Amino acid sequence: MYVDPCLVKSSYVRAGITPGIFRHVTKKIVFSLVVDDFGVKWEDRADLDHLIACLRELYKVDVKIEGNLYIGITLDWYYAAGYVDLLMSGYIEKALKRLDIAKILRPVLAPHAWNAPTYS
């Protein structure tokens, strides 16, 4: 996977073998990159500012500190409780329309027809 020279110059490296995950050599910051979306995990605001400054050397960057939208997924963070809710509103409706699937009139609860067992 390609790593931007700006990131390499600023000591950002791939984090292991997972494509699209990067970390800083000395700072406590990790980010994922999917096409043009960054998801950043940081502890110190100075580390985040360092990454943003590095990216702004070459690119136009919009920063949304809340982190509530990533690759089309809405994120509702509950930090105190230790979890996040993921929401892809409209996904099913868009997929059904794109695949041209008519509304199912009766629910299908199994991937195939059920055959009642015959006991002897």
Residue 81 has pLDDT above 90, yes or no: yes
Instruction: Give the per-residue pLDDT at 2.
Output: 62
- Give 30's contacts (C-beta < 8 A, 6+ positions apart): 15, 21, 22, 23, 24, 40, 41, 42
Predicted model pTM: 0.67
The CB density around residue 14, as the number of other CB atoms within 10 Å, is: 14
pLDDT, tens digit, 9 for 90 and up, residues 3-42: 667 777 888 888 888 888 999 999 999 998 888 888 898 8
